[in-house]
Amino acid sequence: AQKVTQAQTEISVVEKEDVTLDCVYETRDTTYYLFWYKQPPSGELVFLIRRNSFDEQNEISGRYSWNFQKSTSSFNFTITASQVVDSAVYFCALSASYYKLSFGAGTTVTVRA
């Protein structure tokens, strides 16, 4: 069984603050993929990143960065210098089979001007 836990339900920050979203996962599979998706108020799902279980390198993409730690089964996401446009629901997801994603409950990020 696979499980993804996003313990933070809501986070509210002021613009330019950094915000870190936690994601902890459980799986018995040795090969799996981890994802982050953004869901803006318009409702669509926007793919942010995919990471496979053999690649523990951290990644940075502009103001976004991801910290994958297999030892703690965590895949945390940081937004640096947040902006109002970052306001959205963010989902962490896990997949060990190519036909299914297991999603966390999501974290709602509100960035105030």
Question: Which of 43, 10, 29 has its CA nearest to residue 94?
Answer: 29
Sketch the per residue contact string, 7 through 36, with another protein: x for CB under 8 A, - otherwise. --x-----------------------x---
Question: Which of 36, 43, 29, 48 has its CA nearest to residue 96?
Answer: 29
Stretch that binds another protein, among 20-28, 40-48, 65-73, 75-83 (CB under 8 A): 40-48
Least distance to another protein, CB of residue 72, Å: 21
Gap between the Cα atoms of 48 and 64, Å rounded: 9
**Amino acid letter, residue 26:** E
Binding footprint of another protein on the chain (CB under 8 A): 4, 6, 9, 33, 43-45, 47, 50, 52, 91, 93, 95, 98-101, 103-106
